[in-house]
């Protein structure tokens, strides 16, 4: 194969070049690749002329890139190389832009890992002296200070362990001057640092033998800290012990943790994770390096020795991991599986059009449908991205129309018609036809339109939601046992249908009457749940692996809202600025700790229900600070200047065009991933 070896060459001992490859390491990797019978072209991306490096990369026409380039500037520097490679449509070894960007952010990485039930050290991210000062009394001491976006132990010294607030302010302030993007402050965990290398295809699911570092001159009773000086200037004083001197159960636990951590962080081919193990055997994840050192003698090679592999063989195994993942075949010739250059997809905007006006007797039937104004705005926005857009109404001819239009991606805003799984109709048809679509899949949309099932699933995941009963037309009325007041609403409707002046009741008699009234009107189960007295909020979520939370936005009721105010059907269909019952406030803050709980709560709801790309979640907070899930809309309205999600986005600095782009981009990426693997 023809391999482009892309790297940053270390020319001095400056802090900026601490993570770069030495000439000796570059030669070792080059020689190892050549030993496998490959043609290798060296491409140094550390010069001032990045365009020249890219030009060399393009002109060499490699079959694959072997990447060790760390990048120069900014918190996204490690993702620069993979981003360029993907734009050039050249396969490469190692993690992609997402994995590289995420793992360079230690704080965000820990949040992601913690969501997979992996123990992490609690800590704070701060990027200003004021923030540092505000949390100094909350920190558990001794505390450990390190830069959030650096590797090679940058910023780690014997002063990183701070025994009190005074030391924290002194060293934290110095670190912020050197690393203004932000520092991480964690509770210091006494114990041993253990590293676990990963190479896909080797060991147990890619997990190699754990190893640990030791220094000969360490005084007895002193904690070993692998600081910047030891790693970069006195590495001869540090030895690697592999396998690490840990118990078999600890080794097994580390292996199982790695099997969850690696996919959670989008890491592929090779990596290294660092853990801290206490004298009592407790394991804490510290960080992961998606571009670990490949210097001869580095930990990954000590671990591969346990499998009988030398340096050259290990480098070739890393190359083989990428070739296997990318399904690249052949030796010395271009692979027939090389990624194809794809044009922009053809997009269909699929919708239900509302033809009735407010006040029309049949308006409620079409209330969830979109106006012509919204359809036109979305079409204009999508065309502004340079896409060819077809408008297709979600009627009985939908399948035939999608086939005839020959579209690649559907931008779905259709609510569907009839029955409780109506929102799942368009995604199900798209799946049947093999067409990618935006937003959640059919399963998620079918589940979330059923409020009772949604509540049951979230309750099983430990999410607080009001107690409820489901009324299905029984002559015996609603099963007793709920605390009053109670709110009644149709179980399979959106847009606040059924929610109005009479929906909140204060007695069993009123409950039976209201549930019966709604049953007769909607002819579907009626959800009767305990009314949560408190503040009402809605919050947006966009993304998938990395979720962006928009809001929260508070629905602030005035005196006209009555004793038990609700976000009613009528109120929801009035322009927000003209609403006499409530006002919308965004952004709002409930305090540092409560804001964190709300974000965590929102993300958990989104992931527990299997949502994708976008959703909006409604919740209430009672006077005790309890957060109650009310309902979720994974197909939220996108009317410009009107829909809650659009208002949330605009209030948090995201334009309408940017919001639509963020919803569409994951669907296009999914389409591209499938198309690239198809034969020529």
**In a shared domain, residues 94 and 240:** no
Give the Cα separation of 27 and 7 in Å (integer). Answer: 11
**In a shared domain, residues 129 and 222:** yes
**In a shared domain, residues 196 and 162:** yes
What is the DSSP code string of 114-183?
Answer: HTTT--B--EEEE-SHHHHHHHTTTS-SSEEEEETT--TTTT--TTSEESSHHHHHHHHHHHHHH-TT-E
**In a shared domain, residues 309 and 215:** yes
Give the Cα separation of 91 and 73 in Å (integer). Answer: 24
Identify whether 116 is part of a domain: yes
pLDDT along the chain (680 residues), means of 10: 93 78 94 94 85 91 94 84 92 94 92 92 91 92 91 82 94 93 92 94 94 66 62 63 90 94 94 93 94 92 93 96 85 44 83 81 74 96 93 95 95 89 94 96 94 95 96 91 95 78 93 94 93 95 90 86 75 63 86 93 95 96 96 95 94 92 92 72
- Nearest Cα neighbor of 116 from 603, 642, 637, 626 is 603
Q: Residue 589, exposed/middle/buried by CB under 10 A (0-12, 13-18, 19+)? A: exposed
Identify whether 661 is part of a domain: no
Edge-to-edge strands of the sheet including 161-162?
123-126, 183-187, 143-147, 161-162
Which CATH number covers residue 6? Answer: 3.40.50.20
Identify whether 633 is part of a domain: no
**In a shared domain, residues 126 and 219:** yes
Query: CB within 8 A of 438, min separation 6: which ones?
Result: 409, 410, 411, 412, 613, 614, 663, 664, 666, 667
* Domain boundary residue, one of 68, 84, 102: 102
Q: Is 145 left (phi over 0), alpha (psi -120 to 50) or beta?
A: beta
Residue pair 215/153 in contact by the 8 Å Cβ criterion: no
Which CATH number covers residue 208? Answer: 3.30.470.20
**In a shared domain, residues 211 and 83:** no
Identify whether 538 is part of a domain: no
**In a shared domain, residues 152 and 231:** yes
- Nearest Cα neighbor of 504 from 458, 555, 567, 548 is 567
Identify whether 182 is part of a domain: yes
Q: What are the angstrom distances between the C-alpha of 4 and each of 60, 64, 612?
A: 8, 7, 36
Residue pair 464/535 in contact by the 8 Å Cβ criterion: no
Give the Cα separation of 155 and 153 in Å (integer). Answer: 6
Identify whether 457 is part of a domain: no
* pTM for this prediction: 0.54
Identify whether 450 is part of a domain: no
Q: Roughly how many angstroms between the first and final C-alpha of the chain, as a whole number?
A: 20
Give the Cα separation of 532 and 488 in Å (integer). Answer: 13
Residue pair 156/23 in contact by the 8 Å Cβ criterion: no
Q: Residue 163, exposed/middle/buried by CB under 10 A (0-12, 13-18, 19+)? A: exposed
- Nearest Cα neighbor of 3 from 64, 84, 90, 77 is 64
Pairing of strands 64-67, 526-530: unpaired
**In a shared domain, residues 146 and 280:** yes
pLDDT (0 to 100) of residue 359? 65
**Residue that the structure tokens 């924290």 belong to:** 168
**In a shared domain, residues 26 and 91:** yes
**Domain span at residue 232?**
105-326
Give the Cα separation of 498 and 519 in Å (integer). Answer: 10
Give the Cα separation of 258 and 241 in Å (integer). Answer: 20
* Domain boundary residue, one of 102, 125, 149: 102
Give the Cα separation of 629 and 643 in Å (integer). Answer: 20
Alpha carbon 104 to chain centroid distance? 15
**In a shared domain, residues 143 and 195:** yes
Pairing of strands 92-93, 64-67: parallel
**In a shared domain, residues 245 and 128:** yes
Say how many C-beta atoms besides its own lie within 10 A of residue 536's C-beta.
21
Assess whether the previous peptide bond of 182 is cis (omega < 30° from 0). no
**Number of domains the chain is built from:** 2
Residue pair 369/395 in contact by the 8 Å Cβ criterion: no
Report the alpha-carbon angle 158-162-166, nearest 5.
Answer: 125
Give the Cα separation of 314 and 28 in Å (integer). Answer: 12
Give the Cα separation of 288 and 100 in Å (integer). Answer: 10
Identify whether 514 is part of a domain: no
Residue pair 29/66 in contact by the 8 Å Cβ criterion: yes
**In a shared domain, residues 163 and 290:** yes
* Domain boundary residue, one of 298, 326, 354: 326
Buried/exposed 390-415: b ≥16 CB within 10 Å, e otherwise: bebebeeebeebbeebebbbbbbbbb
């Amino acid at each position: 194969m023809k391999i482009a070896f892309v790297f940053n060459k270390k020319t001095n001992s400056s802090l900026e070049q601490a993570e770069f490859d030495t000439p000796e390491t570059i030669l070792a990797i080059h020689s190892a690749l050549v030993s496998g019978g490959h043609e290798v072209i060296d491409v140094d991306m550390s010069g001032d002329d990045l365009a020249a490096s890219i030009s060399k990369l393009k002109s060499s026409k490699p079959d694959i890139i072997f990447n060790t380039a760390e990048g120069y500037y900014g918190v996204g520097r490690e993702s620069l190389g993979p981003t360029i490679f993907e734009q050039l449509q050249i396969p490469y070894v190692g993690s992609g832009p997402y994995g590289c960007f995420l793992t360079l952010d230690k704080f965000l990485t820990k949040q992601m890992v913690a969501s997979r039930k992996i123990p992490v050290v609690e800590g704070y991210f701060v990027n200003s002296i004021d923030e540092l000062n505000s949390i100094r009394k909350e920190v558990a001491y001794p505390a450990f200070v390190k830069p959030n976006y650096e590797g090679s132990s940058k910023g780690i010294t014997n002063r990183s362990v701070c025994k009190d607030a005074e030391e924290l302010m002194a060293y934290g302030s110095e670190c912020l001057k050197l690393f203004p993007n932000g520092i991480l402050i964690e509770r210091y965990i006494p114990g041993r640092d253990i590293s676990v290398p990963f190479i896909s295809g080797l060991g147990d699911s890619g997990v190699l033998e754990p190893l640990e570092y030791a220094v000969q001159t360490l005084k007895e009773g002193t904690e070993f800290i692998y600081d910047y000086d030891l790693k970069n200037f006195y590495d001869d004083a540090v030895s690697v012990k592999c396998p690490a001197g840990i118990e078999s159960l600890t080794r097994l636990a580390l292996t199982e943790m790695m099997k969850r951590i690696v996919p959670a962080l989008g890491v592929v081919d090779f990596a290294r994770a660092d853990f801290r193990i206490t004298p009592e055997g407790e394991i804490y994840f510290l960080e992961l390096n998606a571009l670990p050192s490949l210097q001869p003698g580095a930990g990954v090679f000590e671990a591969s020795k346990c499998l009988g592999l030398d340096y050259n063989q290990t480098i070739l195994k890393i190359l083989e991991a990428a070739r296997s993942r990318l399904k690249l075949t052949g030796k010395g010739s271009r692979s027939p599986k090389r990624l194809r250059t794809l044009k922009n997809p053809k997009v269909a905007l699929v919708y239900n059009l509302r033809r009735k006006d407010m006040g029309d007797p049949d308006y409620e039937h079409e209330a969830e449908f979109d106006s012509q104004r919204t359809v036109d705005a979305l079409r204009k926005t999508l065309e502004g991205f340079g896409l060819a857009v077809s408008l297709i109404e979600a009627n009985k001819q939908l399948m035939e129309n999608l086939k005839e239009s020959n579209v690649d991606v559907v931008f779905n805003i259709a609510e569907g018609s009839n029955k409780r799984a109506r929102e799942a109709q368009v995604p199900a048809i798209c799946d049947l036809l093999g067409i990618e679509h935006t937003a959640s899949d059919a399963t998620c949309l079918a589940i979330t339109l059923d409020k009772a099932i949604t509540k049951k699933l979230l309750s099983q995941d430990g999410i607080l939601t009001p107690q409820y009963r489901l009324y299905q037309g029984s002559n015996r009325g609603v099963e007793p046992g709920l605390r009053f007041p109670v709110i009644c609403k149709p179980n399979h409707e959106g847009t606040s249908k059924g929610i109005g002046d009479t929906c909140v009741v204060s007695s069993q008699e009123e409950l039976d009457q209201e549930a019966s009234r709604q049953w007769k009107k909607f002819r579907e189960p009626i959800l009767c749940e305990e009314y949560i007295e408190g503040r009402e909020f809605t919050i947006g979520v966009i993304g998938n692996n990395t979720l962006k939370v928009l809001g929260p936005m508070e629905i602030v009721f005035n005196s006209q809202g009555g004793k038990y105010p609700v976000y009613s059907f009528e109120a929801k269909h009035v322009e927000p600025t003209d609403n006499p019952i409530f006002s919308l406030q965004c952004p709002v803050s409930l305090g540092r700790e409560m804001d964190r709980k709300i974000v965590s709560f929102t993300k958990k709801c989104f992931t527990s229900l299997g949502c994708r790309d976008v959703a909006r979640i409604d919740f209430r907070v009672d006077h005790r600070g309890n957060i109650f899930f009310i309902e979720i809309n994974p197909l939220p309205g996108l009317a410009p200047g009107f829909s809650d999600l659009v208002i949330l986005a605009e209030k948090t600095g995201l334009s309408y065009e940017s919001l639509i782009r963020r919803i569409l981009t994951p669907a296009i990426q999914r389409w591209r991933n499938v198309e690239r693997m198809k034969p020529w």
